Amino acid sequence: MRQIVELQQQLVPDLLDVMKKRYSILHRVMLSDLIGRRTLASALSMTERMLRAETDFLKTQGLLEIHSGGMRISDSGKQLLEQLEPFYKTMFGLFELEETIRSHYGLTQVVIVAGDSEISAQTKRELGRAGSQVLSKLMQPSDVVAVTGGTTIAQLSSQLNSSSQLNTNLFVPARGGLGESLDYQANTIASMMAKRTGAQYRLLHVPDHLGQEAFSSIMQEPNIKEIVDVIRSARIVVHGIGDAMVMARRRRLDQQIIDAMEAEGALAESFGFYFDRKGAVVHKMQTVGLRLEDIVNTEVVIGVAGGKSKGEAIAAIMRFGHNDVLITDEAAALEMIALIEQEKSNTES
């Protein structure tokens, strides 16, 4: 594939430019669901006149539908994008990034989407779409799937669907709630995933952070203990990755604890645990839900996170060594590649 792209670039370079342009148009329309020409032209940095010529062509090919409220991609357009994805990744060099990261961290699969999800809502949506596709392929009948909260996992849940009803599957929250927006709570995300796939779900109505006395008391409740046992039996865990200090403040941890974690080099947060840049755990929270030993023994662990500022945090979680799949964006991947090259340079010297 790569050799073909290089040959085409030498022989007919303008062909690749046209392909990239039309692919970008279809891809942006798909992510937007319904979008007006002016908005699309602005998003792609094209003139409306140039865009009109391209969208008229795509319409005649049956790839776009033009409505009074805007443009929408057709089923044929979606199918074409799916078939072109490997070619597209080769054109933009994403395959090389995926393989470098996959081999360096010993992962089974890495999926990288173009862009930076921190500054582009469309890239974040694409990150969610890629995550939903991976999860759909990995799920098996009767699976228990534990999911964390957060905006990226919420985006994944909104795009999850299944060609067959997964009525024997069960979605559960990996941990208790943070007390933030209901839309981004693990409970909400688990229920949405279940509804979009025809699966079942269970909820965990407890706070994420508990003192020792409260934790001991609540774990004596038969209903709580039963759902926690189900959560800890999950075959698949889907989790986000956060900046350690940001997440510590969102959890309203004592300043003394935050200062101590910072002194120990806490860089990343995931599953409610805090990791330094080498992937070592520097702080564990007393919480109901998944424990670190459960993550270690889980059959499939899927990390979904992106954004340039999270590159180092994602790399720290990958060094922890218990992820199987990483879905990220180009901006974070490039930061990870820079860290990998730095590591190699330090080793050689």
Stretch 148-158: mean pLDDT, rounded? 93
pLDDT tens string 293-322: 899 899 999 999 999 999 999 999 999 999
Topology of 2-83 in CATH? Arc Repressor Mutant, subunit A (1.10.10)
Count of other CB atoms within 10 angstroms of residue 35? 18
pLDDT of the residue at 112: 94
Name the pairing type of β-strands 64-67 and 70-73.
antiparallel
Q: How crowded is residue 77: how many other Cβ atoms within 10 Å of its Cβ?
A: 22
Dihedral (C-alpha) 76, 59, 8, 112: value to the nearest 10 degrees? -50
> Quick one: tokens of 343?
């590591």
Answer whether CATH 3.40.50.9100 is correct for domain 94-348: no
Report domain extents, the chain.
2-83, 94-348
Task: Taking each helix axis as running N to C, give the angle between helix 48-60 and helix 13-32, from 0 to 180 degrees, rounded to the nearest 10.
Answer: 90
Q: How far apart are CA 285 and CA 205, in angstroms?
A: 17
pLDDT reported for residue 68:
86
pLDDT higher than threshold 60 for residue 5 = no
For the cut 60, the answer to whether the pLDDT of residue 179 exceeds it is no
Residue 57 structure tokens = 């062509």
Q: What is the pLDDT of residue 226?
A: 92
How many residues in total does the chain contain?
Answer: 349
Please report the pLDDT score of residue 289 as a whole number.
82
Same fold across 2-83 and 94-348:
no
pLDDT reading at 1 higher than 60: no
